[in-house]
A and B are shown apart, each in its own frame.
Chain A
Amino acid sequence: MAPHHAHITVLPLDLLIYIIDRVPEPADRKSIRLVSRAFHRAECLQRRDLNVIRREALGMLIRCYGAIESLDLSACAGLDDACLSTALGGGAAPGLRKVNLSRASGVRWSGLAAMVRGCPRIESVDLSHCVGVGDREVAVLAMLAGLKELRLDKCLGVSDVGLAKVAVGCPGLEKLRIKWCLEISDLGIKLLANKCQNLKFLDISYLLVTNKSLHSISTLGRLEVLKMVGCYYITDDGLNYLKNEKNCNTLLSVDVSRCHNVSAFGLVSIIEGHKSLRKLKASDCYVDLPLNCLSKLGMLTNGFHTLKVDGSEVSEPRLKIIGANCKGLTKIGLGKCKGVTDENISELVSNCADLKTIDLTCCHDVTDDSLIAIANSCKKLESLLLESCSLITDEGLVYIGTCCPNLQEVDLTDCDLDDSALESLSRCSELMKLKLGLCPSITDDGLDYIAKCEKLQELDLYRCTGIGDDGLAALAYGCKKIRKLNLCYCTRISDQGMKYVSCLPELKDLELRGLTQVTSLGIVAIAFGCKNLTELDLKRCSAVDDLGFLGLARYAINLRQINISYCNISEQVLIRLLWNLRCLQDVKLVHLTHVRKEGFMLALRSCLDKLKKLKLPTILKDAISPALIQILQDKGCRIRWVDKPIPFYMKDSPPSSPDP
């Protein structure tokens, strides 16, 4: 060690930990870790949360970071029982409180059982979207007596029996999500309500439960959040139970979106029963909101801040009544509502000066007058969604740009705006998310304006055919924070543009569909420049050839999702690509005309234990060996077969026929 570094090496471990405590950025932490063994040791002891991406490293990482409290394995490719039990079964992370196993479809009960044995203090488990999980897995989790939070969204195998196991085993449960667990019925909910009296958060969206369940739920004295999106069998009578029970008046948030059998009377029951309500969501219920229902909103306390009534009828005095009764409103959702006019909007916003989020998606009658009214009243505005409001122009957006300095998110998809509108928006220095899809009038000059928004993280330029490489140069120069960029079908963009994009260091998600001028050189530049790239869509990039994919295979090592459908990739390169990208989880391989079935099989075998999602053309269904498909599925990979004809321009180069 060089002498001028000596003073760092003598720092004791506790001081180092104290220092590392104050370093939040992952990149900085990485630099710290690489300083010396002592620094590495300190970082190991200090770290509380860990996100593991590669299965092979899991065991070693857990041994290294024994003090972790939160473990995220949702992106860990190919995670299976054996791996989980060797990593966590031995008690290497005794202090673990929170485990995220979302989409870890290879994990079954034996792995979970080992985890429960090794980490008995786990309080929060996320098993959402593990479609194979059933009662046995949940029964294992029920052995965690201290469990407080459990997410089981779309665990299709979980039935009332599994729910009963949790209800009995984890009496201290506070948060439970059982969205899409279609096997669960009223009986299970009844038992849950009987045993878990501490529940504060319950999501029963899309369950086939009836009003009986709401009757049981109404006995939960501490429930604060109740979500029941798309519960078709729940009616006004059920919501009336929530009102009648004296026990349950603590609800803060209720979501009855897509409950088609709920009418305004049900909403009135909720409002009357829960004066301290803060959020009410009733999107897509197709209810006609009668005036007396809306005037009941005045009974709520000032804390009421979110109202979402997408798809409802809100003609003449309704928005005015909402405005008059809910002065503290900060979020309002009026997407696809009928009867939204400029007068209505101005009456609403004149009363609600605190509005931060306004959703006017598909309110086709909204014009610049509404924007002027919003700009004049809502100085705190943060999010404005105006998709398909085709009557608005740059004149209205000027007001928004000058009066709403806090604006963070704007959706102008399909509004057919031009560069002058973007000039107005460029004054919003806080802008983080901007959607400009389907605005072909926008040119490179417009992107010059956007480049002034330095905090921009997400930009959608889907089918903005007016933009070219120069615009991307401006973006790359100004918006260094961009993480997500959609350039699909912006056909004027070429390799030069890709070179500019490759200068975006934080880019994670890049969509380049149908960019026919981009060649391998551009792709290699992206792969080399954007080290954090995790998602890449190259569908129909017909000019990209093997060189580009080899570049990806070599440099884009953090890539997790890739779409190379309709691309010109050869067999060997496909195998190499799938083998080399070790974080790869989601692959779309439709219509690769240069790859024979043997190539597909070899390629799939090379990435057998990491894939979670796979999209293949139906033609291959019979060609690929059933044993291979079985192994893929056993390892938790979901295969989607698409049946689309090969486009005519690809037919002149037919796949080389397999030799007999």
Chain B
Amino acid sequence: MKGRVFVPFCCLEFMTKIHQVQEVVRSMIGREGSQFAAQQQLVTADLTSIIIQLISTAGTLLPSFKNSSLPNNNGSLIGSDIPSSDSTKASEYEELIKGLSSAGDEGDDLMKYVNACGGEGADSVLAEDDAVDGDNLPPGSYEVLQLEKEEILAPHTHFCLICGKGFKRDANLRMHMRGHGDEYKTPAALAKPSKEISSEPVPIKRYSCPFNGCKRNKEHKKFQPLKTILCVKNHYKRSHCDKSYTCSRCNRKKFSVIADLKTHEKHCGRDKWLCSCGTTFSRKDKLFGHVALFQGHTPALPPVDDTKVSVVLDQVQNNDLMNGGSIGFNFGSASDDVGLLDIKGDDDDRGFFSPMNFDSCNFGSLDDFSRPSFEVPESSFSILPGSYNYVNRNGS
């Protein structure tokens, strides 16, 4: 959609910019005799801004340019999704500037670059989802490759021919090779191998999953090919392998691709809305919608913290302790309370105020009384409404 309007417009802009450059250069040549420093600066500034604009225009042109140059395109510019993410775009620009600066066949250089950036080197850029196909190439317009299971699951794909050590990346292998002798230190040996075969047109490669019956397997009726080797690896692991990586935070979610686990761990714990069926939601309203829909599902409560449980236990212990303590803490006949019918309500036979026996009273951890400062009168006082014998010992 975007491309259809965008491409001609960009081309037009490209043309006008080039015309501007031509004009500036022409004017410079005209004034060669009488040069003023100020004017020169002005011209330089003009040129720089135009060049920058040129580069950016060329950059936006890049994706559509690639598509339009493909054979058997059927003129479909619509599905031109940018295959790489933003982070690679910056490097694309750099490459492009190089390509522009070296006078040569521009179109081919671009193609070279585009083809190269697809497969390798994108390891860090966790290849989107394997469902993202990019273009819908008609069958037969590409070469289908099928890697074997062992090949897919192999930890290393590049092996040293001398010592047999394996590497994930070709570049690392080349770095390793330097240690095996001076012949591996030449610029030719260290250069990217892909650059050497760049002159020939590269046939389009698509990949098939080795798993029989899989939609990504070439025998499948509605076969959908995988785009890169990385896609194959991720697809195979996700769909046909055990999920061996468990999230260390929730101990529930499992993954077969480490990158997926890492992505999950970034968000794990934020999905705080949990249903009794185990489904998690990042939003409360989604959870409640789910609960409303399914019979018997309820929102789950967060598990009881271990700390909380221990607090509860502590309380229970404290309780016992206090109860035990209150027996020593003998204000009256404490035991006669227990088991009495409350409804009676009029048992007046409460005990006298016996002296508080502090030594037998165990407050446990609560023993923060400043005992010396509080002297309890030794003599117990008996109180009856008629005889008021109580002597206030407070001051003593």
Residues of A within 8 A of B (CB): 26, 30, 33, 52-54, 56-57, 60-61, 80-82, 108, 110, 135-136, 139, 142, 160-161, 164-165, 168-169, 187-188, 190-191, 194-195, 524, 528, 531, 546-547, 550-551, 554-555, 557-558, 570-573, 575-576, 579-580, 582, 594, 596, 598-599, 601-602, 605-606, 608-609, 625, 627-628, 631, 634, 656, 658-660
Contacts and interface: CB of A to CB of B under 8 A. Distances in A.
B341 A61 contact: yes
B345 A557 contact: yes
Nearest to A134: B301
Given A168-B291, A195-B292, A625-B369, 13 more contacts: A57-B339, A61-B341, A61-B342, A110-B312, A142-B298, A194-B292, A531-B345, A547-B383, A554-B383, A557-B348, A605-B329, A608-B322, A625-B366
B182 interface: no
20 contacts: A30-B344, A52-B342, A54-B337, A57-B340, A82-B316, A136-B304, A160-B288, A165-B299, A168-B297, A191-B292, A524-B385, A547-B385, A557-B347, A557-B350, A570-B394, A598-B369, A601-B369, A609-B322, A625-B366, A659-B373
B298 A169 contact: yes
A430 B291 CA distance: 55
Nearest to A165: B298
A142 B301 CA distance: 13
Given A139-B301, A594-B394, A628-B366, A80 B331 contact: no
A601 B329 CA distance: 14
B341 to A, nearest CB: 7
Contacts of B8: none
Interface centre among B296, B372, B385 (most CB of A within 10 A): B385
Contacts of A52: 342
Contacts of A191: 288, 291-292
Interface of B: 284-285, 288, 291-292, 296-299, 301, 304, 312, 315-316, 318-319, 322, 329, 331-332, 337-348, 350, 353, 356, 365-366, 368-370, 372-374, 376-377, 381, 383, 385, 388, 390, 392-395
A249 B339 CA distance: 53
A520 B331 CA distance: 23
B377 A656 contact: no
A187 B288 contact: yes
B36 to A, nearest CB: 72
Contact of A547 (B301, B316, B369, B388): B388
A580 B332 contact: yes
Contacts of B392: 546, 570
B377 A572 contact: yes
A555 B338 CA distance: 19
Nearest to B373: A659
Nearest to A571: B394
Contacts of B390: 546-547, 550, 573
Contacts of B312: 81, 108, 110
B299 A580 contact: no
A359 to B, nearest CB: 38
Judged by DSSP, the binding face of B is loop
Contacts of A57: 338-342
Interface centre among A52, A56, A169 (most CB of B within 10 A): A56
A52 B395 CA distance: 41
Judged by DSSP, the binding face of A is helix
A179 B54 CA distance: 68
Given A54-B342, A80-B319, A627-B365, A554 B350 contact: yes
A606 B342 contact: no
A625 B374 CA distance: 15
Nearest to B346: A531
A365 B311 CA distance: 61
| 4 pairs of A and B residues whose beta carbons are closest in the complex | A598-B374, A168-B298, A659-B373, A550-B383
Nearest to A658: B373
Contact of A56 (B319, B338, B369): B338
Contacts of B353: 572, 576
A575 B345 CA distance: 22
A187 B332 contact: no
A187 B365 contact: no
A61 B339 CA distance: 8
Nearest to B275: A164
B319 A82 contact: yes
Contacts of A627: 365-366, 368
Contacts of A190: 288, 292
A56 B342 CA distance: 9
A255 B87 CA distance: 61
B299 to A, nearest CB: 5
Nearest to A64: B341
B374 A602 contact: yes
Nearest to B363: A605
Nearest to A572: B377
Contacts of B338: 56-57
Interface centre among B348, B353, B365 (most CB of A within 10 A): B353
Contacts of A531: 345-346
B43 to A, nearest CB: 65
A576 B394 contact: no
A108 B319 CA distance: 15
Contacts of A570: 392, 394
Nearest to B395: A656
Nearest to B376: A572
Given A110-B312, A161-B299, A187-B285, A625 B368 contact: yes
Contacts of A546: 390, 392
Nearest to B292: A194
